[in-house]
Amino acid sequence: MKDDSFELAGRRYVSRLIVGTGKYRDFAETRAAIEESGAEIVTVAVRRVNITDRNKENLLDYVDPRRYQILPNTAGCYTAEDAVRTCRLAREAGVGELVKLEVIGDQRTLFPDVPATLEAARILVKEGFKVLPYITDDPVACLKLAEIGCAAVMPLAAPIGSGMGIRNPYNLRIILEQATVPVIVDAGVGAASDAAFAMELGCHGLLVNSAIACAHDPIAMARAIRMGVEAGRTAYLAGRIERKLYATASSPLDGLIR
Amino acid sequence: MSNDFQIELNGEAYRVDGDARLASLIERLKLKRGRIAIEINRAIVARAAWDEVTLKAGDMVEIVNFVGGG
């Protein structure tokens, strides 16, 4: 197969899988799962340093920023202001301009606040950030984010951490048809089949955290999801057959014994 | 100016006793400079300015780093 590298915000990547670092048992497991996933981009959260336990280990001692593109998120932010503030701090911490923008609108579903996400994206793009926004699977919101100048759009497939899979493939298809920037499915994947399905639809990439970190064996699930992404991408490029209601025989009718 | 005063560090009262330089606070907390970002009174303090900044009573200081997240 010819080169199928993935371009995002001006950099080329071999892997189309982005992985999170939340919910692992410890940093050693985090590192091993990332390694097994083959991901080159890794999301992290921005939080206050632990003042009381000064000898606590640091995530970046295990996930080397020289090897991985670190993608700070704004998880937990409910206003555009907080999200922008978090991105500025992340950039100051020295991992570059790439940010995963999330402005949450509701605690129970963790669905994004779309107007606040658009507002934060405008400010961040103006300030030179390369913005990857988490957004509902709404084709209009995705169009607007691309117009603002986001480096990609990241529609959710199902609620964060739900493992419900690709709940609305038709919206994703519409988003993909009109896409001028990469479409990365963010949130909702439960297992390798969901990853493959998203990629078969033509999604350019996939962001997974809980499905790997909370699996019984995270390392094995990291491998499974990596293979799911690769299988789905390959199938997409191969071009699937049309769905037909009735059967079409695979064996010739000529030469049947009578 | 007395060098014994309180600031708010990451939302908690914190006593600065003696050396009021921001650089000393970073040292006292044993923080790796390459892994953190600092705000004072909601304004980011650029890394290059860390050695020049002096804290004063009532300053609201936020020091953040990266943790696991999705």
What is the pLDDT at residue A192? Answer: 97
Cα A111 from chain centroid? 15
Instruction: Inspect the interface and report whether the beta carbons of A21 and B34 lie closer than 8 Å.
Output: no
CA distance A93 to chain B (A): 5
pLDDT attached to residue B51: 93
Contact B7, B16 (CB under 8 A): yes
Cβ neighbours of A88 in B, within 8 Å: 44
Q: Is the confidence at residue B1, as pLDDT, over 70? A: no
Q: Distance from B37 to chain A by nearest Cα, in Å?
A: 5
Single-letter amino acid, residue A204: H
Does the global pTM surpass 0.90? yes
Contact B8, B25 (CB under 8 A): no
Do the chains contact at A22 and B68, CB–CB below 8 Å? yes
* CA A240/CA A181 separation, integer angstroms: 23
Q: What is the pLDDT of residues A12-55, one digit of tens each?
A: 999 999 999 999 999 999 999 999 999 999 999 999 998 887 66
Residue in A20, A72, A187 nearest the CB of B66:
A72
What letters, b where the CB count within 10 A reaches 16 and e where it falls short, cover B49-62? ebeebebeeebebb
The interface residues of chain A toward chain B in range 47-66, judged by CB-CB distance below 8 A, are 47-49, 51, 54-55, 58-60
Query: What residue type is assigned to position A186 of the chain?
Result: D
Domains of chain B from N-terminus onward: 2-65 (3.10.20.30)
Residue B36 DSSP SS3:
coil
Residue B3: pLDDT band with limits 50, 70, 90:
confident
Identify whether A100 is a catalytic site residue: yes
Q: Contact A89/B39, CB-based, under 8 Å? A: yes
Give me the residue from B9, B47, B64 closest to A47, CB to CB: B64
Q: Indicate yes or no: CB of B12 within 8 angstroms of CB of A54.
A: no
* Residue B18: pLDDT band with limits 50, 70, 90: confident
Residue A193 and residue A229: Cα distance in Å, rounded?
9
In this prediction, residue B2 carries a pLDDT of: 58
Across the interface, of B30, B44, B68, the residue whose CB is closest to A44 is: B68
What pLDDT does A54 receive? 67
Q: Quick one: pLDDT at residue A51?
A: 86
Residue B10 has pLDDT above 70, yes or no: yes
Using a CB–CB cutoff of 8 Å, tell me whether A207 touches chain B: yes
pLDDT value at residue A96 = 92
Q: One of A100, A130, A144, A244 is an active-site residue; which one?
A: A100
Whether A95 contacts chain B with CB within 8 A: yes
Give the per-residue pLDDT at A176.
98
A74 touches chain B (CB under 8 A): no
Nearest CA-CA distance, residue A2 and chain B, Å? 31
Contact: A43, B9; criterion CB under 8 Å: no
Which residues, 6 or more positions from A140, have their beta carbon under 8 angstroms from its beta carbon?
none
Q: Which pLDDT score is estimated for A110? A: 96
B20-65 pLDDT, tens digit each: 999 999 999 989 888 899 999 999 999 999 999 999 999 999 999 9
Q: Residues of chain A whose pLDDT is less than 50? A: none
